[in-house]
Amino acid sequence: MVEKKVNNKEESKVKVKFITNDPNIRVTDTPIAVPVRLARLGLSEVIHHLREDIEENSKPFDFLINGKFIRTTLDTHIKNNSLSEEDIITIEYLEAITEPKREKECQHDDWVSSVHGGNFGLIVSGSYDLGVRVWDSEGNLISTGTGHLAGVKCVSWINDKDNSNLSFVSASLDKTLRVWNFNKEQSEIKALAVLKEHTGSVESVDVSPDQTRIVSGSMDGTIKLWSIKNIPNTPAAAPSNSSLKKRKTTTAPETIHEITESIQSVSVPNCQGITTVNWETQFQLLSGSMDHNIKLWDVNTLTQTESIHTSSSLTDISYTVESGLIASAHKDKTIRIWDPRESDQTKAQIQSLFSHKTWVTSVCWKPNSKHHLCSTSHDGTIKYWDIRTKIPFYTIDNLEKTNEKVLTSSWINNNNNDNYSIVSGGTDSKLRIHYNDNNN
């Protein structure tokens, strides 16, 4: 009799309405009753049933209520967020982001310290082997440039939108920056200019949105702005002398332009070294330093407009114009999300993301996204995050078992559309491209 009562007991249900921004997976928005015991996979089955999916291995979906991902049963989520089971609950759904299924390794001669993905499916990398390299989206080496006298710490595309005129900048332990031209047709990298004014290693470099200036941050405690709009696109030829004129077969050697004075410079007192700079908007740039501070700077005057004190030294910062949020990477294993528009600093930190086991070395917002970012760490992993949940969507742990460190990450645009792959580099001396051919 007891068993019969259990089987006949009416299952608790709640009325929900499913919505999505993706027309390819849209179902009816008519409210339906679903069991409160369902979690993500159970709700995915409901969507597949409504879509009449017949594939055996249909992809799962992710679900949000009021902007928060469902990571428990509906019942637990409703109670934890003080929702009413009497109301019709609107559930947003989207295709789940899955871990990359394919990877390409690109060998360097020493640690890969920096990578930057750009348009046209191109990647520029910097290495402790003193070289800069350009790769295509399938990991084929196109060209290598040399000239730095010590390891390269940071690289950034300057102009990657004009296919016939590509350029990038590198920053180095040799206290200089170099501007490079990449001729795609000839598959050739040539140095255009060397920028000399820092007295310490240049840790980070970024480019203004209008591509006419760059900002650099150094262990000498300074932030410098440089004008690059008047640098010629081709290296200068050294003045020929009489002996060269007599030898018709001799070509005058090329020299690179020297810039020994920045257009603006500021020294940050007691910062113990600028570790990261970021320039995403025309009016404001950001810096992070060893003294735990994120600083916001007015571009026109290079004066500090705001300082956000954090609880740990900064290794990287990334800003997204989509939501106006800052993501910061720290030595205390933490990624922090900030809203710099909050006047009260206690409210500026809106979220902390915990999953890495040691230093977080890089953090990078996904282009055109207000929610997604990737991070790397000395623990040998890469993590993909959606800040609407505190749990990473997936972890790539290629280097974790070998105790190697991942030092850098970026995104590469595949085929100039909204299809992105993660690019990473680390102490195993390899650049890695992590493809998810079905969902990037």
Tell me: do 176 and 70 sit in the same domain. Answer: no
Length of the chain: 440
Domain stops at, among 95, 123, 140: 95
Q: Does 232 reside within a domain?
A: yes
Whether residues 167 and 50 share a domain: the answer is no
For the chain, the average pLDDT equals 89
**Cβ 104 vs Cβ 138: under 8 Å:** yes
- Predicted confidence at residue 4, as pLDDT, reads 42
The answer to whether residue 440 sits within a structural domain is no
**Domain for residue 321, yes or no?**
yes
315-367 tens-digit pLDDT: 999 999 999 999 999 999 999 999 998 877 777 899 999 999 999 999 999 99
pTM, two decimal places: 0.88
Which tokens in the block code for residue 360? 């977080």
Q: Are residues 163 and 294 both part of a single domain? A: yes
* Statement to judge: residues 253 and 227 lie in one domain: yes
CA distances from 342 to 306, 324, 437 (A): 11, 11, 39
Query: How many folded domains does the chain comprise?
Result: 2
Please list, in sequence order, all residues whose beta carbon lies within 8 angstroms of the beta carbon of residue 91, skipping any fewer than 6 positions away: 16, 17, 18, 19, 43, 63, 64, 65, 70
224 and 159 Cβ atoms separated by less than 8 Å: no
Q: Phi first, then psi: what are they for 127, rounded to 5°?
A: -140, 160
> Which portions of the chain are predicted below pLDDT 70?
1-9, 54-57, 119, 160-164, 234-254, 415-418, 437-440
In a domain, 2, yes or no: no
Per DSSP (E only), the strands in 368-440 are 372-377, 382-386, 394-396, 406-414, 419-426, 430-435
**Which residues form the domain of 373?**
102-435
pLDDT of residue 400: 85
pLDDT at 57: 62
pLDDT in the model for residue 256: 86
On whether both 48 and 145 belong to a single domain, the answer is no
Same domain, 248 and 292: yes
Please write the tens of the pLDDT for every residue from 153-163. Answer: 999 999 755 66
Asked which of 76, 95, 114 is the last residue of a domain, the reply is 95
Examine the fold and report which residue of 39, 73, 95 is the final residue of a domain before the chain moves on. Answer: 95
CATH number where 65 lies: 3.10.20.90
**C-alpha–C-alpha distance, residues 228 and 164, integer Å:** 18
Q: Which residue carries 């015991």 as its tokens?
A: 37
